[in-house]
Amino acid sequence: MTPGGDDLRPELRRRAGELLARLAPSAREALLVRGWMSHDARWFNAVARAYGLEAANRLNRIAARAVGEAEAPRVLRALARPPVAGLDDCLLAQEALIGLLGPELLDYRVRQLDARTYRIEVERCFAYDNVVRAGVADSYECGIFERVAGWLDALGLAYRMNPCLGKCLKAQGRDCAYEIALGASAPGAASPVQPNRGPARR
């Protein structure tokens, strides 16, 4: 390479493309998921150090809910799925979203309790593992099911979630299990106080 002269980017892009082509699609996806996880953990820790755990939890829940609201319709549009109309549609949409975002991050079971109610039982959770390593598990508030609530909100589903969202159940020595009833008259999951914000970007 010589100083000055033509723009190097087209040739660099070509060579970089050849390098990236060596990655199988599954390996590329795994790298992207790991990058997202690294950002997620470091963002939370940075906010906690600068402003305290209370602020980190509140902002993490706000962000998780907002991300869920944005990504659910985007992904279902990309999959050419019709609007979610019932429990089976909801469960398939949920599994598609988890499958896209990194199914290896969680070990869980899904059980149908009746025609409109299901139960998610989480055995292993990457968020819990991370906050345990960071030594803040006792204070951590669940962002995973906050994101699920964002999915349900965006899909226009009335629902009730039990127990209510709050501190990590595993950190309290409880089973991480939530029952979600669709079409329930009570509001589903109260959102953390939202700051003023501009139009959502889909």
* pLDDT tens digits, 60-86: 999 999 999 999 999 999 999 999 989
Position of tokens 């609530």?
A: 149
The pTM for the full model equals: 0.85
Main-chain dihedrals φ then ψ at residue 46, nearest 5 degrees: -65, -40
What pLDDT is recorded for position 188?
64
**Prior bond to 187 cis, omega within 30?**
no
Nearest in space to 178 (alpha carbons), one of 192, 159, 164: 164
Res 198 pLDDT > 60: no
> Could you state, in order of their start, the residue ranges of all structural domains in the chain?
52-182
Q: In what order do the strands lie in the sheet with 176-182?
A: 106-114, 117-125, 176-182, 159-162
